[in-house]
Amino acid sequence: MKIRIALCQVDMEWEHTARNLERLESVVAAAEADVVVLPEMFATGFKLRPAVVAEPQDGLVVTTMRRWAATYKKAVVGSAVIVEEGTYRNRMFFVKPSGETQWYDKRHLFRPGGEGRDYTPGDKRVVVEYMGFRFLLQICYDLRFPVWSRSRGDYDAIIYCASWDNKRRDAWCALLRARAIENQCYVIGVNRVGTDPDAVYIGDSQALDYLGRTIAGADSGEWTMSVTLDLEQQRAFRESFPAWQDADDFRLEP
């Protein structure tokens, strides 16, 4: 069983939702993949003051993602700023061509940048099943917290969408590899490029296999690259090297 994933490393205009969505449609349309992954807050840039760009769940960003998925017959993944019952969420969506939409609210809010000041954290891990694969959804700073992403035998790949500052690029690359190795899973990390008023983003988006080997990656610039994940190969490796059977048992609390 195989699936094609497109990593879309893109820049975006600060706080210009409609223009970003208009420009990124061609990126989604051209991607040769079953699943297209975009960066964190791909329609607005990373916003620490969410009221400026926040939308309801049925706002322009999510309805556009649904239209893309239905029109181009591929799942679309990325995060957006959502307002819900007076709270703001950094919410990652996995939108299927059927219109089915699942989401994950970022658990670990970026304390050094003040994200926790205005956003409400999530408290649930979310695994999405699509085309026989199980994907754990994670956002940016979540990458630093291995317990939250520890495999319990419940997923085959982790998808991280990010706005990861260039000053911490070594940590990004090292931690993506660590998550792949320790969980014996595929890891897809999609970061943005360009600048915003607070940071510079180099990119370094990459896909890694269950051994921590790089399948695809690039440092700077806008690009889209598609990779193939092979579930049978992953399962064969996990059977031949069953480190997962020796994992420490624990329970996550909200």
For position 127, which CATH number holds?
3.60.110.10
Using CB atoms within 10 A of its CB, is residue 86 exposed (0-12), middle (13-18) or buried (19+)? exposed
Q: Is residue 144 part of a domain?
A: yes
State the catalytic residues: 40, 106, 140
Is 87 part of any domain? yes
Residue 28 within any structural domain of the chain: yes
pTM over 0.95: yes
Whether residue 8 is contained in a domain is answered as yes
Residue 13 domain-assigned (yes or no)? yes
Q: Is residue 251 part of a domain?
A: no
pLDDT band at 170 (very low <50, low <70, confident <90, very high): very high
* pLDDT over threshold 80, residue 253: no
CA distance linking residue 116 with residue 110, whole number of Å: 7
Predicted pLDDT at 216: 96
Q: How many domains does the chain have?
A: 1
Confidence of residue 244 (pLDDT cuts 50, 70, 90): confident
How much of the chain exceeds pLDDT 70, in percent?
A: 100
- Helix (H) or strand (E) segment spanning residue 188: strand 186-191
Instruction: State yes or no: pLDDT of 249 exceeds 90.
Output: no
Give the pLDDT band of residue 245 (cuts 50, 70, 90). Answer: confident
How sure is the predictor about 254, in pLDDT bands with cuts at 50, 70 and 90?
low
Q: How far apart are CA 159 and CA 93, in angstroms?
A: 11
pLDDT, residue 218, reads 82
- Structural domain range at position 198: 2-246
In a domain, 253, yes or no: no
The average confidence (pLDDT) of the chain is: 96
**Statement: residue 115 has pLDDT above 70:** yes
Average pLDDT score over residue span 218-241: 95
Q: 254 lies in a domain?
A: no
pLDDT of residue 248: 86
